Chains A and B, each alone.
Chain A
Amino acid sequence: MYHYTEFDRRFVRARAAQYRDQLERHLRGELSTDDFRALRLQNGWYVQRHAPMLRVAIPYGELSSRQLRQLARIAREYDVVSDGPFAGHGGYGHFTTRQNLQFNWIPLDKSADVMDLLAEVDMHGIQTSGNCIRNITSDAFAGIAPDEIVDPRPYCEILRQWSTLHPEFAHLPRKFKIAISGAAEDRAAIGWHDVGLQLKKNAAGEVGFQVFVGGGMGRTPIPGVEINAFVPWQQILVYLEAIVRVYNLAGRRDNLYKARIKILVKAEGQKFFDDVNEEFARILADDPAGHEQIIPQAELDRVAASFVDPAGAAPAADAVLDTADTAFARWLSRNVHGHRVSGYRAVTLSLKRVGIPPGDTSADVMDTAAALADQFSHGELRVTHRQNLVLPWVKTSDLPALFQAARAAGFATANAGLLTDQIACPGGDYCALANARSLPLAAEIAERYQDADELEDLGEIDLHISGCINSCGHHHSGHIGVLGVDKDGAEWYQLTLGGSDGSTLSGATAPGKVIGPSFAADEIADAIDAVLETFKRERQAGERFIDAVKRLGLDSFKTAANAVRVSTARAQA
């Protein structure tokens, strides 16, 4: 993990002090609600349906047990509703698809105290919201994946530092998300980001970035396109400066829904590429400060020194495991992942449990996960794009004990990558933007599909649920995507099939296609059932859901889903 320097610590404390000053001026009436909005957003504070929401950055998904315990403390002591209609709510956090943790019930007047507590453990909410460069995300298996080409974490950290309180890029036309992958398999959905960076080695063995730009979800889902096949790693900050400057100056600001960089890239096409590449060349040629943005080897080495294997984690022979217990065997095959270091595995702690919204984690559960990390993973955890936790350093000989402990704590649902490992945003239950609730549907799916054999039989399926077109639940990239829409005050759900996050399994980054008009709230789970039944009936031997959708097209799924429209029929009668 990255080790904060004294400078990093003083910086985060200065930011917390700055926020406290802004909050106090706001509470005294010297800073209006309107003017305060952009300031609190850039520190992670939203005002939501019932209460403020705090989004804490977990930079590129790396989390220590010490940090997780502090997050548990914040959940327990600050995320508390003591009176009013929601008395008793709170006490938990929600892990998001972008490696953040959200608290839903912290009162705004306590927000500066919470920032101080975060700063105590080298954490913050800087730029987790607002129209700025957001928390930089990466592969949850960074540094340990067997298919890794280059460890992305040192670059992630250098980019985190570069983007933090960047004075020129603090008020962009819209939010700006960067994801970095360093492996053969893209586990960071880089094609869906404003900038996606793929680490590569060229023929000479030199490291650089393939740069994609203009990806994004929302109203207009567009996969990113390659703007540069290979930017040497030393120049990546300069290249990003060029992209973000062109966007800052030329991106649309007249229409919120057309302000993302994807719209600029789409509208200008080659001209955008030319503008960026010319700006990049001019920074290097003309700007006295240009060369100072080139990352020296010494800086990469300094940061990379934080990302070494934990002390005592040495390669060993794999333990021979007794897999007579089918539950254990299934957990091994689903939730236990390959590791770069022999004798080790990465283990998914599933946060997808019946009765609990995807990603939600109570203070006690956080403490339990921290204890498991201490006992089995050198105190280290990862937060995944799929809203789970990962223990990255588990000895094969510890797997039976970890399985028992994880099962006792409710983390051992062996569903990683399966239907019920679904992604869902908090939806209309909490979010002020949502058109419909996501969590009741997620709960219904979790309830209906508890049979492990049935789940295995269905195979890998990405089910993604968003409560509105902002797409926090990534419905566009789901093999099955569900989007909540509002029709005359009622909740309806649009169903899409065939979306891809860009992984090998899912194919090239692509949004799913809508099958027919929206379904009523009491139809959507049945519609998903109908789609899955159709898949079971029409699939070829060993065929995965996404492949079947690609082969069969939408019609048979659409016909089956339409047959469940009982409420729709009644409403139209």
Chain B
Amino acid sequence: MKFINPTTCPWKHAIGEDGPKPDPDPAPHRLLTLEQWRAVRAHWPQDVPVAIEFPNDADIHQLAPDLHRIALVVLDFPKWTDGRAYSQAHLLRIRHKYTGAIRATGQVLVDMMQLLARTGFDEVVLRGDQSQAVAQKALELFAPVGFYQGDVSETRPWFLRSAA
């Protein structure tokens, strides 16, 4: 899991004087909202990877045709108990075989680490009051044991692993 500091992160929003630019010019390391991406995707150069901020109430399947040029999908947790982004990440990884980065933002708590890792997130922006050290520890908690179900990194449920 990569812990991201948004101020030093190379991916930057395309923001004008009045908020997000409606039609940003292509450039490397652009972090676009879904709305911006919809506006530019038709003419965006194929060889300039983008990052997309994807809301948790939109249909993630709509990204499928573009995934090959998306380097990073940023999924949102407006509340830490709003679990929609787990399904979105799972679908990106398992259904669409997406291999770029998936980042969690919003109300990201250390106690979510395992759920995030297991559904396909590999980057997080922790909420300001959260400790990276505790998050690292939380990731290790079940490591010696494992889980019953499969997940994105170990797709086999325990019943297949134990029988292997």
Contact = CB atoms under 8 A, between A and B. Distances in A.
Nearest to A247: B87
Contacts of A293: 150, 157
Contacts of A39: 111
B155 A169 contact: no
Q: Interface on chain A toward B: helix, strand, loop, or mixed SS? A: helix
Contacts of A170: 83, 86, 115
Interface stretch (A9-17, A78-86, A141-149, A379-387): A9-17
Contacts of B142: 11, 14, 18
Interface in B128-164: 131, 134, 137-138, 141-142, 144-152, 155-160, 162-163
Given A14-B142, A18-B141, A292-B160, A249 B84 contact: yes
A21 B151 CA distance: 24
A282 B160 CA distance: 21
Interface in A13-41: 14, 17-18, 21-22, 25, 30-31, 35, 38-39
A131 interface: yes
A298 B86 CA distance: 31
Interface stretch (A159-167, A441-449, A548-556): A159-167
Interface in B67-108: 80-84, 86-88, 90, 94-95, 97
B122 to A, nearest CB: 14
A296 B82 contact: no
B148 A162 contact: yes
B109 interface: yes
Interface residues of B, number: 41
A299 B84 contact: no
Given A288-B94, A289-B94, A289-B150, A171 B81 contact: yes
B115 A161 contact: no
A167 B119 contact: yes
Given A11-B145, A171-B81, A292-B150, A249 B87 contact: yes
Interface in B12-62: none
A288 B95 CA distance: 8
Nearest to A5: B162
A560 interface: no
Contacts of A248: 83-84, 86-87
Contacts of A453: none
A512 to B, nearest CB: 33
Nearest to A241: B149
Interface residues on A, range: 35 or more
B95 A286 contact: yes
Given A14-B145, A22-B111, A161 B82 contact: no
A288 B97 CA distance: 9
Contacts of B95: 282, 286-287
A169 B97 CA distance: 20
Contacts of B90: 168, 245
Contacts of B119: 167-168
A288 B155 contact: yes
Nearest to B114: A167
Given A170-B83, A282-B95, A287-B94, A165 B134 contact: no
A167 B145 contact: no
B83 to A, nearest CB: 3
Nearest to A167: B118
Given A17-B141, A289-B155, A296-B163, A164 B86 contact: no
A253 interface: yes
A167 B121 CA distance: 12
A161 B148 contact: yes
A245 B86 CA distance: 10
A475 to B, nearest CB: 29
Contacts of A249: 84, 87-88
A167 B115 contact: yes
Contacts of B84: 248-249, 253
Contacts of B146: 7, 11
B66 to A, nearest CB: 18
Interface in A460-493: none
Nearest to B155: A289
A296 B159 contact: yes
8 contacts: A11-B148, A14-B142, A18-B141, A35-B80, A171-B83, A245-B90, A248-B84, A289-B94
Interface of A: 7, 10-11, 14, 17-18, 21-22, 25, 30-31, 35, 38-39, 131, 161-162, 164-172, 245, 248-249, 253, 282, 286-289, 292-293, 295-296, 298-299, 302
Interface of B: 80-84, 86-88, 90, 94-95, 97, 109, 111, 114-115, 118-119, 131, 134, 137-138, 141-142, 144-152, 155-160, 162-163
Which 8 pairs show the lowest CB-CB distances between chains A and B? A171-B83, A167-B118, A289-B155, A299-B159, A161-B148, A167-B115, A10-B145, A168-B86
Given A7-B158, A35-B111, 8 more contacts: A17-B141, A18-B138, A21-B141, A35-B109, A39-B111, A165-B149, A166-B149, A289-B152
